[in-house]
Amino acid sequence: MPLTGKQRRHLRALGHHLEPVVIVGQAGVTEGVIAAVEQALQDHELIKVKINEGPETRQEGAQRIAEGAQAELAQLLGRTALLFKKRKKDSKFEKF
């Protein structure tokens, strides 16, 4: 289910202080990157991913990561993407 504008705004506020937990290198978005993002989302639900120069644009890379991890792209600011995926159990985000 896509996020509403109000939900995105709330997630951006919560994610402002976060540091990137996954960094995409020169090889671009690989299966290893997607696996790392999935694990980080399972652990934290809301993460930042830094997308460095690679074979695809930052928009394409962020979209591929979100689709590969079945997550929502809450924000793309510069080379940093904010991703959200609610856990099935014990979620901190009950409103979503």
Residue 20 has pLDDT above 80, yes or no: yes
First to last CA, the chain: 9
| Cα–Cα nearest to 93, from 46, 42, 39, 49 | 46
Give the mean pLDDT of the chain: 93
What pLDDT sits at residue 54? 87
| Cα–Cα nearest to 33, from 57, 69, 84, 60 | 69
Residue 24 has pLDDT above 80, yes or no: yes
Domains in the chain (CATH in brackets) are: 5-9+30-84 (3.30.110.60)
Q: In this predicted model, what pLDDT tens digit does every residue of 51-76 receive, in sequence order?
A: 998 899 999 999 999 999 999 999 99
